[in-house]
Chains A and B, each alone.
Chain A
Amino acid sequence: MRRGFNFPGLAFLQGLVGLALFVWVWHLIVASGAVPRAFLPSPEATWNAFVRGVTIGDMREQLLGTVLRMINGWLLASLVGIALGSAIGISETLRNYLRPTLAFARALPASAVVPVAIALVGLTPGMVLGVIVFGSIWPTLLATVQGFAMVDPRLVEVSRALHLSRFDFIWKIGLPNAVPDIITGMRLSLTVALILAIVGEMLAGQEGLGKAILLAARMFRAPDLYAGIVLLGLVGLVSSYGLLLVERRVARWRR
């Protein structure tokens, strides 16, 4: 019975029906007038605002601005995070010296750095990029350290017997072994990068969806606000699922 019955397909269909029900209930709530339209616009109004924003409005530029800001900061954070993480990962001494400093820096909410960054650099795109890098570096950095710690001790012995240099050890043994951990870390980093990109836009007035939804709320244009939130949700969904797919593929390839 199981074989002829395409269960994942059915589950997906049920999920979609559930989503349709959700939107329908949303529509009913708005239509009933129980919630002021200023706070909760109907799904149709949100969709119209979305279409208008993408076709004649500047939603496409705003989306591009936010996504580019997020990806640039994330790539930079990933590069620096992997490099620093490798250096810390191969050296027990370095780990002992840096442990409390790293624990403190990681526990610091990245947005708390924004006022300091504003004081130092001013309200510039560079400031926003710096904050994104600072905030989103930790998951990747710590995951790289973790990945290096998990390297099979026998491989470490082999590399010693072969007299591999530190760089060769990182490049040929450490990093390939740490790839699954690193990708998991990078997925978490990307989420943080998106949040900080939005915060940066809101605070520094950089052109993007973050600034757009702030302005929409100030002018009580609820449909535009919801369209922006939905679009930001989509950015989060697509980016985290994309990396989840990469993660699964890497996990399969390693087995």
Chain B
Amino acid sequence: MSGWRGLIVPVVLLLLGEAAFRVFGYVGDTLAPPSAIFRGFAEAIGDGTMVTTTLQTFATVLGGTVIGAAFGLVVGCALGFWNLLYRFTYITIECLRPIPSVALLPLSLMIFGFGYKMEIAIVGFATAWPFLILTYSAISQVEPRLLEVAKVFGFGPVGTAWKLVLPAAAPRLMTALRLCIGIALVVAVTSEIVSNPQGLGHELMIAQETLRPHRMLAYLVLVGLIGWGLNNLLLWLQTRMFRHRGEVDTEVAA
């Protein structure tokens, strides 16, 4: 593998950044050299805020994704089993789906006030659609003969969903989960930056407003690392779980 070459660019950028600050002697309230960013990390871990806010954001991501996934799975299964239901609802779904999740921020804030509820509601809205669509498409692509077998055995909708459809759709649902965790993190951080006073996004905003660039950049790096780490973790899980089926879309980034 050529892994080491990929490290050159970030390392050179960090060194250049550090050198630029040393040479020009810049001290200001908008940017900070990499060494100060490390200090920002140490500071934020030391006073406990980094752990607390990370847990707050994680709780939102998890709660929202669970709610969104549950809704998407149930409705997606229902639409997949009853074609008539699908035909009567698809236009409504296509009209609701493109509503940008941030457009619901003011509404959610008005209903729930600050806190976990308003954020989880928006994350749930944003993550429900990919699950709904992928569940539906997974079901409509299940081998029809398998569904006939289910009918012969008298499985009923719930039994069919549990014994046939979910196992067949599992690889695609894992892809949906990976996509949704990414979306959930973006939506959570966005709502924290725009309005909700908790979590990583709010901490970023506070660091900027209190003119502590080293802390702000430390949080920015942390948010990036979390996004990157979660995606890689789920990708790894996905390959491990479904490698034997050869159904993994590797989707290698760049």
Contacts and interface: CB of A to CB of B under 8 A. Distances in A.
Interface of A: 11-12, 14-19, 21-22, 38-39, 88, 95-116, 118-120, 142, 145, 191, 194-195, 198-199, 202-203, 209-210, 213-214, 216-218, 220, 222, 225-226, 228-229, 232-233, 236-237, 240
Interface in B87-128: 87-92, 94-96, 98-107, 109-111
B224 A107 contact: yes
Contacts of A226: 107
A206 B203 CA distance: 23
Contact of B182 (A107, A112, A210): A107
B27 interface: no
Given A96-B5, A97-B5, A107-B224, A18 B103 contact: no
B92 A229 contact: no
Contacts of A16: 91
Contacts of A214: 105-106
A19 B95 contact: yes
Contact of B220 (A95, A96, A113, A142): A113
B154 interface: no
B186 interface: yes
B139 interface: no
B201 A198 contact: no
A96 B102 contact: no
Nearest to B190: A111
A145 B220 CA distance: 26
Nearest to A38: B110
Interface in B73-99: 87-92, 94-96, 98-99
- A108, A109, A145 — which one has the most chain B CB atoms within 10 A of its CB? A109
B92 A112 contact: no
A204 to B, nearest CB: 11
Contact of B186 (A17, A110, A142): A110
Nearest to B110: A217
Nearest to B94: A237
Interface of B: 2, 5-10, 13, 29-31, 87-92, 94-96, 98-107, 109-111, 182, 185-186, 189-190, 193-194, 200-201, 204-205, 207-208, 213, 216-217, 219-220, 223-225, 227-228, 231, 253-254
Contact of B106 (A103, A105, A118, A213): A213
B88 A18 contact: yes
Given A109-B190, A112-B223, A119-B213, A19 B92 contact: yes
12 contacts: A12-B91, A101-B6, A102-B254, A109-B227, A111-B194, A115-B216, A195-B190, A198-B103, A199-B193, A210-B103, A213-B106, A232-B100
Contacts of B104: 229
Contacts of B8: 97
Given A100-B7, A112-B204, A225-B107, A142 B254 contact: yes
A109 B185 contact: yes
Given A19-B91, A21-B88, A111-B186, A229 B98 contact: no
Given A102-B253, A194-B100, 16 more contacts: A11-B90, A18-B89, A19-B95, A101-B9, A105-B224, A107-B231, A108-B227, A111-B186, A112-B204, A112-B224, A116-B217, A142-B253, A142-B254, A233-B95, A233-B98, A237-B94
A78 B193 CA distance: 26
B107 A229 contact: yes
A199 B207 CA distance: 19
A176 B103 CA distance: 36
Contacts of A145: 254
Contacts of B189: 109, 111-112
B194 A98 contact: no
B9 A120 contact: no
Contacts of B193: 111-112, 114-115, 199, 203
B201 A229 contact: no
Contacts of A240: 98
Contact of B9 (A97, A108, A111): A97
4 closest Cβ contacts across the A-B interface? A236-B98, A217-B106, A15-B91, A107-B227
Contacts of B186: 109-111
A130 to B, nearest CB: 14
Nearest to B6: A100
A15 B228 contact: no
Contact of A98 (B9, B102, B220, B228): B9
A225 B110 contact: yes
